[in-house]
Chain A
Amino acid sequence: MLDAAGIEQALRRLGREISTRNTPATRLVLIGIRTRGVPLAMRLGALIKSDTGTDVPVGTIDITLYRDDLKARQGRPMQATHIPCLLDARHVVLVDDVLYTGRTVRAAMDALTDFGRPLSVQLAVLVDRGHREFPIQADYVGTILETAHDEQVRVQVSETDGHDDITLMEAARQEA
């Protein structure tokens, strides 16, 4: 659906939108949601740095302990949460690869509030595929995909998968 060049273009635009809305960028912090939100947040941090000259702290959050479907996620390996600075008096941009039901973002917001009281929490996603189950929407969207419930949007990034692309897959082949 989107190749490496398309992803790069989308991220550049997201970076500009984020820094435009949050001027000066010195009060900004990016938090990537595990797993693929993390490399995307780091890329956005680098893009904002080259646009504005400001080093924006980038953190990571694993929302496993905040999920509302613990029993459905068997064997999901947990990873470290790392919040790089105090969140109070900062604008936080959560970064994830795909926005779908909104449950992950809901859990991430719960987790964030355990670390402090940000000035605001915003959401940046590479793909919005619809089918929300919570009243949540993204502030920054890379691309919108029309999908069916039983389809799977697979985002691959070079940091974890060797290359960048976004594909729409049949349910049967969805990743675990």
Chain B
Amino acid sequence: MSSISFRGRDLLDVETLSAEDIQHILDAVPSFKEVSERDIKKVPTLRGKTVINLFFEPSTRTRTSFEIAGKRLSADVVNISVATSSVSKGESLRDMADNLAAMQADVLIVRHHVAGVPHFLARSVPQPVINAGDGAHEHPTQALLDVFTLQEKWGSLQDRSALIVGDIASSRVARSNVLAMRKLGMQVCVCGPRTMLPAGLDQLGVESTSDLDEAIQSTDVVMMLRMQRERHKDVLFPSLAEYAERYCLTGERLRRAKEGVVVMHPGPINRGVEIAPEVADGLASVILQQVTNGVAVRMALLYLILGGG
């Protein structure tokens, strides 16, 4: 029996998880996936628990995924988005969190455009906090669902290779995935324009390149990132057309890849910018499986944190 327990713990980042922690979570996921495949997609496990989705940044997929995960476990899920919250009336983050905690919420799920906010809240309130994405820092549940999707396909990830393509420097998805994949024994290479590659990659044991056509030939999985135009205050590349010319995953580019290559994307996708429709909808794509698995991974996390261990 495993000595690892997540009961009452925060899930703030992948960085502080061990490979065993990650595997402990992933091992719990299939049972929850099975619940989602039933006619009656609901179990009474978290009856009477209150889950608060606290989103300071627009999100449809992640917020809905957490909401469905909580509801399938019979928890009460409350969604708070910044536009309707009293933060717009000048209440501080800390006061708001204290109030939610005082209402006996059992777990807070937090997304914020500033890195470190979930960590700050985790220190301020007694309840466990789950990071649903903080600035350009981390998006741990996305990485967990991504490595779960790969394990489901391959079994062990040891010595498999991944290529992550896009704006690496400002991507929390890339950062969390690099950490999770490295911990599980994968080789990781990141690819994008020089202006979008962060410093310090070698400390993580990660290679980098700006040549997608070459790098795609030797990888087992290629993960395309969304071009996050809303995050760019500076001009990092001349135009979207020019970016797409060099970094869009087209059917032609994909044909250079190994047989059986897997295509991932965390969504939402910009068709024709970072990924061509024929690839997003093609046989190599697991994009919708990622979404399905996202619900199951978040169910597993809520279950483990709120009592299951």
Contacts and interface: CB of A to CB of B under 8 A. Distances in A.
A120 interface: no
A75 B1 contact: yes
Interface in B2-43: 2-5, 7, 27-28, 30-31, 34-35, 38-40, 42-43
A64 B40 CA distance: 17
Contacts of A111: 43
B31 A62 contact: yes
B177 to A, nearest CB: 26
Given A80-B30, A114-B38, A70 B43 contact: no
Given A64-B308, A65-B45, A75-B3, A114 B40 contact: yes
A71 interface: yes
A114 B42 contact: yes
B307 A70 contact: yes
Contacts of A66: 43-45
B307 A65 contact: no
Main secondary structure of the interface of B (DSSP, over half): loop
Nearest to A72: B307
Interface in A39-75: 62, 64-66, 70-71, 73-75
Interface string A105-137: 000001100110000000000000000000000
Contacts of A78: 28, 31
Given A65-B45, A66-B45, A114-B38, A74 B30 contact: no
B37 to A, nearest CB: 10
Contacts, number: 53
Contacts of B5: 74-75
A176 B1 contact: yes
B1 A65 contact: no
A76 B4 CA distance: 11
Contacts of B30: 80
A149 B38 CA distance: 38
Contacts of B308: 64, 70, 73, 76
B23 to A, nearest CB: 12
A103 to B, nearest CB: 14
Band of interface residues on B: 20 to 34
B309 interface: yes
Nearest to A175: B1
B31 A64 contact: yes
A32 to B, nearest CB: 16
Given A80-B30, A80-B34, A115-B38, A71 B307 contact: yes
Interface residues of A, number: 20
Nearest to A79: B31
A114 B44 CA distance: 10
A80 B3 contact: no
A70 B2 CA distance: 16
B31 A65 contact: yes
Contacts of A73: 308-309
A24 interface: no
B35 to A, nearest CB: 7
B303 to A, nearest CB: 8
Contacts of B35: 65
A143 interface: no
B45 A81 contact: no
B306 to A, nearest CB: 8
Contact of B43 (A65, A80, A176): A65
A162 interface: no
Contacts of A64: 31, 308
Nearest to A67: B45
A175 B2 CA distance: 14
B107 to A, nearest CB: 14
A176 B309 CA distance: 15
B163 to A, nearest CB: 33
Interface centre among B4, B5, B34 (most CB of A within 10 A): B34
Top 3 A-B residue pairs of the complex, sorted by shortest distance between their CB atoms? A70-B307, A65-B43, A78-B31
Given A76-B308, A81-B34, 7 more contacts: A66-B45, A71-B7, A73-B308, A77-B2, A81-B31, A115-B39, A115-B40
12 contacts: A65-B35, A65-B45, A65-B73, A66-B45, A70-B308, A73-B308, A75-B309, A79-B31, A80-B34, A114-B40, A115-B39, A115-B40
Interface of A: 62, 64-66, 70-71, 73-81, 110-111, 114-115, 176
